[in-house]
Chain A
Amino acid sequence: QSALTQPRSVSGSPGQSVAISCTGTSSDVGGYNYVSWYQQHPGKVPKLIIYDVNKRPSGVPDRFSGSKSGNTASLTISGLQAEDEADYYCCSYAGSYTLVFGGGTKVTVL
């Protein structure tokens, strides 16, 4: 069970859209529609922002959206805001009641 692959960093200007990829295998990302995404500000507790590939928990702005194609899931942040600067982690179900996280992506708002 290897960690999912995410880019170390992405950046964008306020108002732009950025996308974060999360690449796994057919045994995790590609095999199930169970990808979740988390936002973590420095020194803070992670926050669930997307689950089941593209569902948003109550209270999460619709600027955050998720998708999946094959073995790669993506988180898109539209209309980037300064408060979106944070680390983002993906997580996938990997079968047999196990989960695997990605290594994390730092989003910088220029």
Chain B
Amino acid sequence: QVQLQESGPGLVKPSQTLSLTCTVSGGSIIIGGYYWSWIRQRPGKGLEWIGYIYHTGSTYYNPSLKSRLIISVDTSKNQFSLRLTSVTAADTAVYYCARDLGIAAPGEIWGQGTMVTVST
């Protein structure tokens, strides 16, 4: 049974870089042809797709975040990661990683989510 777990700092200062890692267990990140997503949810707000990655390293980003965003994969560790630069309070959110059911159906399997607060 595939499980995903996000990890990373819960507090990031404004203008700094937010870095999160998603560790996949119970299955290989390179098997099955899945896409792997990052999705966030600001407090009290809706879901926002951040971007996704294929195990080959091909990445696809939300155009509104593209200039600040890097998603990468480490197949040797069965992990994929998110780096969001120049963060502001607007980036405060619960960040979820997910395994996608194809390129157009994110979130077949979700991590538990991790709250990241941008504040001094």
Contacts and interface: CB of A to CB of B under 8 A. Distances in A.
Interface of A: 1, 3, 32, 34, 36, 38, 40, 45-48, 51-52, 57, 89, 91-93, 96-104
B47 A91 contact: yes
Interface in B97-120: 101-108, 110-113
A104 B62 contact: no
B60 A98 contact: yes
A104 B78 CA distance: 32
Interface residues of B, number: 24
A97 B96 CA distance: 19
Contact of B101 (A32, A40, A51): A51
Nearest to A50: B105
A36 B46 contact: no
A91 B60 CA distance: 16
A110 B8 CA distance: 40
B49 A45 contact: no
A57 B108 CA distance: 8
B100 to A, nearest CB: 9
Given A40-B47, A45-B111, A97-B60, 10 more contacts: A1-B64, A32-B104, A34-B104, A34-B105, A36-B104, A36-B105, A51-B101, A96-B60, A98-B60, A101-B48
The listed residue with most B CB atoms (<10 A of its CB), out of A34, A40, A47, A101, is A101
B104 A45 contact: no
Contact of A97 (B101, B103, B107, B110): B103
B60 to A, nearest CB: 4
B49 A99 contact: yes
A14 B96 CA distance: 32
B32 interface: no
A89 B45 CA distance: 11
